[in-house]
Structure 1
Amino acid sequence: MRLGTVCYEGREHVVAALKDGRLLDLHLAAELAGEDCAWFIDMMAVIYAGNPALDLASGLIADASDRCILEEEEITFCPPLLPVQFRDCLAFETHLKNSFAAAEKMTGRPFAIPGVWFEQPIYYKGNRLSFVGHGQDVIWPAYASFLDIELEMAVVIGKKGKNIRPEEAESFIFGYTILNDVSARDAQMAEMPGQLGPAKGKDFDTGNVLGPFILTADEVSHPVALDMEARVNGERWGGGNSKEMHHDFGKILAHVSASETLYPGEVIGSGTVGTGCGLEIGKRLSPGDHFELEIEKIGVLANRIVKE
């Protein structure tokens, strides 16, 4: 199933996407059915409740009542959840090769893929408080002139774990969603020689976009192999398939959780799929551009970038 969070009549509601494009208010549906509606107070409550909440949601979807239906024109999408912790990886070799070639042209400095990238997952920790949802505007940061999209898949952690083995990682994944960590490329290029990872190249209000839904992990086999595509103003920029990750999410969770506890509600991004950003193909965003990031079975994450 696909689960999301929307704002309706001044408060947030956990919803399930129905086949006809409508949304089921799970809290209201559970309340009317005499079931435990507390599981659907917010997405974190669903995650903590786990399979009992998902089983109930499945039953509510099957018996959906018109009294519990929300139409998309009535609501505003929020991020499915505000991550407890946010990490983003760099798992697609094609993206890395293309981006390094573009960076060399921009800066005149040589770039090469370090050997460690092939040996273990590489990631950084981003700003978990800067997330917005599907349909919300991304605000152009005043210090940047080169803005770019990033088409990524992300996992949402479903249960606490430490020293997770790759073969058991699937059981720690609650679901999959679409991530766009909008990048200020000029700021990023200036920071890279400092060798401490992204900072203002990634961290600005509204700079991270998540959603519109979380596809629960039972809907796909692991490791995931889903088609991904990026479009700007209706023009296809690029894309690929999540199976192209050099390190799959099993390896990523094993590496991240080594001597470190992962908690329910953490979000970990895959990094950008090959040709999933403008830097790779010689394009950049302009104020007013509308971008759509699509991942098979999850949906379309669409936003506009504007200057204040």
Structure 2
Amino acid sequence: MKLVTFTVGEEEQQRVGAVLDDGAICEFPSSASAHFTSMLALIDGAEGALDLARDHLSKRQTVHAASDVRLLAPLPEPRQMRDALCFEKHLRQARANRHLFGFEGVPRDPAKIEVPAVWYEQPIYYKANRFSVVGTETDITVPRGETRFDYELELGLVISRKGKDIRPENAREHMFGFCIFNDYTARTAQLREMTGQLGPAKGKDFDTGNALGPWLVTADEIADPHDLTMVARVNGEEWSRGNSGEMHHKFPAVLAHISSDETLHPGEFIGSGTVGSGCGLELGKFLNDGDVVELEIEGLGILRNRVVRQDGDKAA
């Protein structure tokens, strides 16, 4: 199923449902089950809640035209957000372009970038701001004073069940579904603050900084999450293309590492990190006011946002 969180018309009440083949939305009425009061409640309900949702989907009792609804982030407030760095090509190319920020005199050859040994030994990740999540067609507000604003093309995973010390061979049991993740980044702030040997912080933490969507596809519909074509377009022009199979640490290894001595809970979100060539930093170009960014991942739809600078704020 392609699960969504949405509102109808001018109402603010959040509803959950699924996308039909014609683009209409089949609502799962909260009056029918407590599992339908939110996406987190649906995830908490496990297979029983999903079976109930499939039953409602087959009956199509409450259907809304796509034009009558506003899609929110499918999981508006994850219980936790972590973002990993799983693509070696992204790591090398991003570090090779540090000259754009005055840290290196000239561009460097990505193949000659020294990658820390620990990166190969274990997945590296940070915890993101779970309160700054937005959905498709929502404007992304650039932090004040930021001159190099960037998109990041990522695959997102939502956890289905509680687990600790998860073994890689059992990881699939803990995967509820997948969605597109645009990890918007204030590069000038990020590069500056991370010279202090901690972070990222304000380079990532700002309202509207985490875009998820357009929907959450249940894991049973994704045969192999590590063989998905990933594309980014800016104003209709393709900027990035890659494949989730390029992950050095794949999701089973990521789950095993994160859950080591730590309990994961249903409704937590984990990002794959940026696919190689999947951001402006790697390409040497950044986003401008009014740019429309579209991220597309095979089987997961298109996540679309417009970049908006605050009044009086200009890019460099």
Same fold (TM over 0.5): yes
Letter in 1 for 2:134: V
For residue 143 of structure 1, report the CA deviation from its aligned partner.
2.9
In angstroms, what is the RMSD of aligned CA positions?
Answer: 1.5
User: What residue in structure 2 maps to residue 278 of structure 1?
Assistant: 280
**Contact 1:177–1:214 under 8 Å retained in 2:** yes
Letter in 1 for 2:151: I
User: What residue in structure 2 maps to residue 69 of structure 1?
Assistant: 63
Matches within 5 A, 1:1-308: 1-8=1-8, 9-27=11-29, 36-65=32-61, 68-81=62-75, 82-109=77-104, 112-308=114-310
Letter in 1 for 2:285: K
User: Does the residue aligned with 1:59 lie in a helix, a strand or coil?
Assistant: helix
Between the aligned partners of 1:165 and 1:52, the Cα distance in structure 2 is: 24
**Contact 1:170–1:222 under 8 Å retained in 2:** no
Structure 1 range deviating more: 68-77 or 39-48: 68-77
For residue 112 of structure 1, report the CA deviation from its aligned partner.
2.7
User: Does the residue aligned with 1:27 lie in a helix, a strand or coil?
Assistant: coil
Between the aligned partners of 2:7 and 2:275, the Cα distance in structure 1 is: 30
For residue 276 of structure 1, report the CA deviation from its aligned partner.
1.1
Between the aligned partners of 2:37 and 2:101, the Cα distance in structure 1 is: 48
**Contact 1:156–1:175 under 8 Å retained in 2:** yes
User: Does the residue aligned with 2:217 lie in a helix, a strand or coil?
Assistant: strand
Q: TM-score with structure 2 length normalisation?
A: 0.91
Between the aligned partners of 1:279 and 1:229, the Cα distance in structure 2 is: 16
**Contact 2:100–2:284 under 8 Å retained in 1:** no
**Contact 2:150–2:187 under 8 Å retained in 1:** yes
Letter in 1 for 2:202: K
For residue 293 of structure 1, report the CA deviation from its aligned partner.
0.5
For residue 195 of structure 1, report the CA deviation from its aligned partner.
1.8
For residue 188 of structure 1, report the CA deviation from its aligned partner.
1.1
For residue 105 of structure 1, report the CA deviation from its aligned partner.
4.5
Between the aligned partners of 1:300 and 1:170, the Cα distance in structure 2 is: 24
For residue 221 of structure 1, report the CA deviation from its aligned partner.
2.7
Task: Give the gaps of 5 or more residues in structure 2.
Answer: 311-316
Letter in 1 for 2:221: E
For residue 64 of structure 1, report the CA deviation from its aligned partner.
1.7
Letter in 2 for 1:93: E
Query: What per-residue deviation string (whole Å, max 9, x for no partner) do you get for residues 108-131 of structure 1?
Result: 348631111111100001111111
For residue 53 of structure 1, report the CA deviation from its aligned partner.
1.6
* Identical-pair percentage: 50
For residue 52 of structure 1, report the CA deviation from its aligned partner.
1.4
Task: Give the gaps of 5 or more residues in structure 1.
Answer: none
Runs of 4+ in 1 over 3 A off after TM superposition: 108-111
**Contact 1:223–1:248 under 8 Å retained in 2:** no
Letter in 2 for 1:77: L
Letter in 2 for 1:264: P
Q: TM-score with structure 1 length normalisation?
A: 0.94
User: Does the residue aligned with 2:83 lie in a helix, a strand or coil?
Assistant: strand
User: What residue in structure 1 maps to residue 313 of structure 2?
Assistant: none
For residue 87 of structure 1, report the CA deviation from its aligned partner.
0.4
Query: What per-residue deviation string (whole Å, max 9, x for no partner) do you get for residues 140-173 of structure 1?
Result: 1003111000010111011111010111011011
Between the aligned partners of 1:288 and 1:214, the Cα distance in structure 2 is: 27
- Counting matched residue pairs gives 300
For residue 73 of structure 1, report the CA deviation from its aligned partner.
2.0
Between the aligned partners of 1:78 and 1:122, the Cα distance in structure 2 is: 29
